[in-house]
Amino acid sequence: QQACDALVYNRHGHYDDVLQLEKVLLPPVGDEDLRIKMLAAPVNPADINMLQGTYAILPPFPAVGGNEGLGEVLEVGSKVCDAKPGDWVIPVDAGFGTWRMEVVCKATDVIPVAKDIPLLSAATLGVNPCTAYRMLKDFGNLKPGDTVIQNGANSAVGQAVIQIAAGMGLSTINIIRDRPNLKELKDKLKSLGASLVITEEALQKPEVTNLFKDIRRPKLALNCVGGHSAGNLLAHMEYGSTMVTYGGMAKKPVPVPAKALIFKDINVCGFWMTQWKRNNMHDLSEIKAMVAELAEMVRRGQLSVPTCTQVPFPDYKVALDATTRAYSSKHVLMM
């Protein structure tokens, strides 16, 4: 039986204490299975939450870390007709365990991704751009000319929101934290298609209402952060608009003032990509179509290659440390 290196954990806790590079055995490739060589796998905030045991789904032990990543098919079971060696694939569901050199899985556990887009785009397409895409398509009944406001705008999801929204003819108001290189980040987000980029502090100033002389009040708010930052979004929204919470980076509850509900009738809800995928698991065509459409956006240059720091697999701690630090780019493990 073959074995490969994988980042394994047998209990929950801080990654320094629980995550170890170990040899794991690969099961034989069954009729309906694929053997896949992992090429690249990002470290996302949810991966850290899963290691800590605070995420909504927790794989059984021993578990392999990582939920997202790009693999290349090496071997195909005798009954698999829609995959061949050399194809690129990404996992469908969370909990796949992507931080490993190779994996044997059911062919239905992965979907294809086009090989003519950059490797880093393919490796990061299945979670963050999909989340941005769904939130913009499924909430707020948005039409060209409408406005979306979001906090955590520099996150990978936020950057995808800016780009997909621009393609839909929407304006975006993008809230970021103040930082030493503020102008650089503002310029970068504007180059992606952001209409406005403002800091959390600037959003609270009275003169911010002047913005709405030039831009419609938001029909949709996307909340990546929670806490005061979420409350500040509500203050600027249109009557009857929707706030979707998808992240909790501040680890604080979302404060909803009674006046936002009574006088503005704001609809407050959440979105979880994993649940959406699970609801669509019986027929993978919709998930495949979304990934294909996002790949097409990459090809057209509408969705740029994400700014990623590439980390050799054995140096995984560098990537995990960076993911828990502020003002850090997305780190991707390269197998």
Measured between alpha carbons, how far is 271 from 152 in angstroms, rounded to an integer?
15
- Binding residue for ligand NDP (CB under 6 A) from 70, 107, 156, 266? 156
Binding to ligand NDP (CB under 6 A): which residues in 256-315? Answer: 271-273
Spatial distance between the Cα atoms of 255 and 252, rounded to a whole number of angstroms: 9
Counting contacts by CB under 6 A, is residue 247 touching ligand NDP? Answer: yes
User: Quick one: 40 or 156, whose CB is closer to ligand NDP?
Assistant: 156
Interacting residues with ligand NDP between 157 and 176 (CB under 6 A): 157, 176
CB of 200 to ligand NDP, least distance (A): 8
Supply 12's token pair.
């929950």
Q: Is 184 helix (H, G, I), strand (E, B) or coil?
A: helix
Q: How far apart are CA 86 and CA 91, in angstroms?
A: 16
Q: Is 331 in the site for ligand NDP (CB under 6 A)?
A: no
CB count within 10 Å of CB 44 equals: 21
* Least distance CB 312 / ligand NDP (angstroms): 20
Burial class of residue 334, CB neighbours in 10 A (0-12, 13-18, 19+): middle
Region from 32-40, 84-92, 233-241, 242-250 binding ligand NDP, contact rule CB under 6 A: 242-250
Residue closer to ligand NDP (CB basis): 27 or 118? 118
189-192: long-range contacts, CB 8 A cutoff, minimum separation 24: 189/153, 189/154, 189/159, 189/162, 192/159, 192/162, 192/163, 192/166, 192/304
Rounded to a whole number of angstroms, the CA Rg of the chain reads 20
Binding positions for ligand NDP, 194-233, rule CB under 6 A: 224-225
Which whole-number Å values give the CA distances from 55 to 12, 50, 94, 223, in the listed order?
11, 5, 11, 18
Nearer to ligand NDP, 128 or 171 (CB): 128
Instruction: Please report, as residue ranges, which positions from 40 to 99 form the binding site for ligand NDP (by CB under 6 A).
Output: 44-46
Tell me the torsion sign for CA atoms 143, 145, 149, 150.
positive
Which residue lies nearer to ligand NDP by CB, 212 or 272? 272
Q: How does strand 70-76 pair with strand 88-91? A: antiparallel
Question: Toward ligand NDP, which CB reaches closer, 9 or 55?
Answer: 55
From 55, 133, 246, 316, the catalytic residue: 55
| Of positions 96, 139, 246, 313, contacts ligand NDP by CB under 6 A | 246
DSSP-H helix ranges across 140-180 = 156-167
Q: Based on the residue annotation, tell me whether 246 is a catalytic residue of this protein.
A: no
**One character per residue 111-140, x = contact with ligand NDP (rule: CB under 6 A):** ----------------xx--x---------
* Residue of the chain from 21, 83, 168, 249 that contacts ligand NDP (CB under 6 A): 249
Which stretches of the chain bind ligand NDP, using CB under 6 A?
Answer: 44-46, 127-128, 131, 152, 154-157, 176-177, 224-225, 246-250, 271-273, 326-327, 330
Catalytic residues: 55
